Amino acid sequence: MGTEGIQDKYVNPYTDFGFKLLFGTAMNKELLISFLNALLFKEEVIKDVTYLNAEHLGTQEYDRRAVFDVYCENEKGEKFLVEMQRGEQQFFKDRSVFYSTFPIREQAKRGEWDYELKAVYVVGILNFSFDNSDEEYFHHEVKLVDLYTHKVFYDKLTFVYLEMPKFNKTEDELESMFDKWLFVLRNLASLLERPRALQNRVFDRLFETAEIAKFTKTELSEYWDSLKNFRDWYSVISTAEKKGREEGREEEKMEEKKNTKLADFGKKIGGARKDQWKGRGMSLEDLLDMTDQEAKKYVTKDNVWPKPDWASLLSEGNVEKAVRYWQNEIRKSLPANAGSLSGQDKETRYVRVVSELRDLVMNVHTREEAKNFYHEKVVPKGYVIPKAGRYVDVPEGMKGIISNKFLTAVAFPGELYYNCLLYTSDAADD
């Protein structure tokens, strides 16, 4: 394999391959040592590290598994867990706390033990911002604190989060090793030459390791696959975020329109109002005149996607029988109502997603269109987010609607693009 598609000079550290190459291999541990010292201690406190098993099982066979990006300990036995968070997660703080329990629990000793623990550091390098209140505050260091005295209550558990999009220092503004390391992480993939400010031994090692032209054929192939996955994932995330913003604006307008209408408490949905979606299926516009109670009652699959007369559709002969079967299976895979969704405005989200799927699916006419539906419609529209291997994430707004059953139904008979492997955590999790 050549370098087709790879025009950068240096590896992208946000890819799985790039991050593991720079920080997760014993031959490059001096890079990790330098980074941790610059980040946590501002001096050379850590002299050496030993890489530990990155895969951890719970204490029971049914416990959740955790796989860390980088996990090591120094010569004092202190534990360091370093994670690259490539995209925003609703519960990424919870995930950090959960992951911290593994290096804590594994210190437990059989027999008599006084519970003395070695320090644990959890470092999250974030390719997103979670705190928009201060555009210059990007380096978060969190410990257990007494709220009354405002003093550190326990100094052996530290969480560090770096909001990388907020770090905007130029080469001329770099002062400390901490600045230099963040500059490298933020800009390495876009550099055409080595900056003058990064002229010391540890960065000699880094730039030599990161140069793509020096990769072996196997390394190049692995990096290309990792880079492609990262770009595909980033594209899907960007599309989903854009769509979410547009839908948010649309729903705000609808809510304003709904609130401006005079409340008619004596008016019940029925007759003409109920009949208006019969035949065509309920839309978001149909929700405007409904009270919350009416929405809970009438927002159902049978009203949003009325059950087609499949026998009549088959007799028309303009769509293959296999495609009609496929359409029916997808409809059956969707929940009967919004009861399985969580959060506010779940009826609105149910109508929006199910009505959109209704129109997309019933517009498929050929086997080829059905076979390509997952790649051309499901993924681009943000119903799922592909991950490593055959795993996918389901965005928060889609949970309760998009399920394993749905993904199985979408797979055209004989064309299984995936085996309904749904995951709602990082690819490292199991």
Lowest mean pLDDT among 146-155, 267-276, 293-302, 416-425: 416-425
d(CA 18, CA 226): 8
Residue 262: which pLDDT band, with cuts at 50, 70 and 90?
very low
Higher-confidence position of 424 and 239: 239
Q: What are 349-364's pLDDT values in tens digits?
A: 899 899 999 999 999 9
Is residue 116 classed as helix, strand or coil in its secondary structure?
A: coil
Question: Is 261 in contact with 288 (CB distance < 8 Å)?
Answer: yes
* Alpha carbon distance 93, 343 (integer Å): 20
What's the CA gap between 243 and 284, in Å, rounded? 16
> Which one, of 348, 325, 298, 349, lies nearest residue 412 by Cα?
325
pLDDT at 233 (0 to 100): 66
Q: Chain-centre distance of CA 320, in angstroms?
A: 37
**What whole-number distance in Å separates Cα of residue 13 and Cα of residue 22?**
8
Residue 234 is encoded by which pair of tokens? 């980033």
Q: Is the pLDDT of residue 423 over 70?
A: no
Percent of the chain past pLDDT 90, that is, above it, reads 46
Q: Is the pLDDT of residue 318 over 70?
A: yes
pLDDT computed for residue 207 by the predictor:
96
Q: Dihedral angle at the C-alpha atoms of 347, 352, 354, 360, nearest 10 degrees?
A: 180
Query: Can you tell me the mean pLDDT for 185-191?
Result: 94
Q: Over the Cα atoms of the chain, what is R_g? A: 26
In total, the chain counts a number of residues equal to: 430
Higher pLDDT, 344 or 148: 148
Q: Which whole number is the average pLDDT over 36-63?
A: 79
pLDDT band, residue 154 (cuts 50/70/90): very high
Range picked from 40-49, 224-233, 235-244 for highest mean pLDDT: 40-49
pLDDT score recorded for residue 428: 36
CA dist 208 and 421 (Å) reads: 39
The position carrying tokens 């951890």 is: 56
- pLDDT for 427 equals 36
pLDDT at 269: 43
With beta carbons less than 8 A apart as the criterion, state whether 79 and 121 touch.
yes
Percentage of the chain beyond pLDDT 70 is 80
The pLDDT assigned to 389 comes to 66
The domain locations on the chain are 16-215, 245-410
Task: Give the pLDDT of residue 342.
Answer: 82
The secondary structure element, H or E, covering residue 141 is: strand 139-145
| pLDDT value at 68 more than 90 | no
Q: What is the pLDDT of residues 109-124, one digit of tens each?
A: 888 889 999 999 999 9
Q: What is the pLDDT of residues 372-382, one digit of tens each?
A: 998 889 988 88
Contacts of 228-236 with CB under 8 Å at 24 or more apart are 228/5, 229/15, 229/16, 229/388, 230/12, 230/14, 230/15, 230/16, 230/86, 232/386, 233/86, 233/87, 233/385, 233/386, 233/387, 234/86, 234/87, 236/379, 236/380, 236/382, 236/385, 236/386
**pLDDT bracket for residue 259 (50, 70, 90):** low
Per-residue pLDDT, averaged over 176-201, amounts to 94
The span from the CA of 329 to the CA of 332, in Å, is: 5
Higher-pLDDT residue of 228, 247: 228
pLDDT digits (tens, 9 = 90+) for 82-141: 999 887 777 889 989 999 999 999 999 888 889 999 999 999 999 988 888 888 899 999
Torsion angle of the four alpha carbons 137, 138, 143, 147, in this order, in degrees rounded to the nearest 10? 20
Residue 422 is predicted with a pLDDT of 38
The segment with the largest mean pLDDT, out of 168-172, 367-371, 388-392, is: 168-172
Q: Which pLDDT belongs to residue 141?
A: 95
Distance CA(228)–CA(289), nearest Å, equals 47
Report in angstroms the alpha-carbon separations of 80 from 69, 88, 106, 425. 11, 22, 13, 21
Show the CA angle centred on residue 378, arms to residues 372 and 383, nearest 5°: 170
pLDDT value at residue 258:
53
Helices (H) and strands (E) in the chain, counts: 15, 10
Residue 60's pLDDT is: 46
CB 52 within 8 A of CB 91: no
Q: Rounding to the nearest 10 degrees, give the CA dihedral for residues 418, 423, 426, 430.
A: -90
Average pLDDT, the chain: 82
Q: Which two tokens stand for residue 329?
A: 């299976």
pLDDT category, 247, cuts 50, 70, 90? Answer: low
CA distance 231 to 236: 9
- Is residue 273 over pLDDT 70? no
Give residue 79's pLDDT.
96
Centre a 10 Å sphere on the Cβ of residue 174 and count the other Cβ atoms it contains.
Answer: 18
The mean pLDDT value for 184-206 works out to 93
Residue 81 pLDDT: 95
Bridge partners, residue 85, by sequence: 126
With vertex at residue 242, the alpha carbon angle to CA 237 and CA 247, rounded to the nearest 5 degrees, is: 125
Highest mean pLDDT among 242-246, 274-278, 338-342: 338-342
According to the model, what pLDDT value does residue 289 have?
A: 72
Q: Inform me whether the pLDDT recorded for 241 exceeds 70.
A: no
Q: Give the whole-angstrom CA distance, residue 153 versus residue 159.
A: 14
Cβ–Cβ < 8 Å for 299, 282:
yes
pLDDT at 245: 58
Average pLDDT over residues 202-207: 96
